[in-house]
Structure 1
Amino acid sequence: MSTALVGMIAGMALGFAGYFGGFPAFLLVAALGAVGFVVGRFLDGDLEPGDFFRSRDFRSRDHRSRDRDRLR
């Protein structure tokens, strides 16, 4: 499924929620969509739980060392 199609479906869901449920429903759908996006990234392997808890300097060094190891 293309990114444009996913974006269109998400926009339509937010539009329906805003129209039929008002602004609080719009916010709820947007928040649940963001949670679903993060969970999906975890399941795809693009994110690790430690990415949210490490300091910025530590994470950048960790990624550089992993990238360097991949190039070898």
Structure 2
Amino acid sequence: MSRAMAGLIAGMALGFAGFFGGFGAFLLVAALGVVGLMVGQLMDGDLGPGSLFRPRDDQQRIREDRRRVHEQWLR
């Protein structure tokens, strides 16, 4: 699924929550969506437990190292 399609689905879910449940439901759905996104990224390996507290340059280095390991593994 493309990111545009995921964004469309998320926007529609937030719209329905806001329309039928009010602003409180809108905020709850938005917060749970962010939590779900972070859990999904953790499970995919795109986000590590320490990624939120690590400086940006370290994240770039780790991403490059991960790419090199992946390329070596595919050979």
- TM-score, normalised to structure 2, is 0.73
Structure 1 stretches lacking a partner, 5+ long: none
Question: SS at the partner of 2:47?
Answer: coil
| Contact 2:14/2:30 (<8 A) preserved | yes
Aligned residues: 68
Q: How far apart in 1 are the matches of 2:2 and 2:62?
A: 32
Instruction: Compute the displacement of 1:51 (Å).
Output: 1.6
Task: Find the counterpart in structure 1 of residue 5 from structure 2.
Answer: 5
Tell me the CA shift for residue 2 of structure 1: 1.3
The alpha-carbon deviation at position 63 of structure 1 amounts to: 4.7
Shift of the alpha carbon at 1:17?
0.2
Unaligned runs of 5+ in 2: 70-75
Any idea what the Cα deviations from partners look like across 1:16-53, whole Å, max 9, x if unmatched? 00000000000000000000000111011011112234
Does 24-33 or 45-54 show the bigger shift? 45-54
SS at match of 1:51: coil
Deviation at 1:4, TM superposition (A): 1.1
For 2:57, which of 51, 56, 60 is the aligned residue?
60
Q: What secondary structure sits across from 2:46 in the alignment?
A: coil
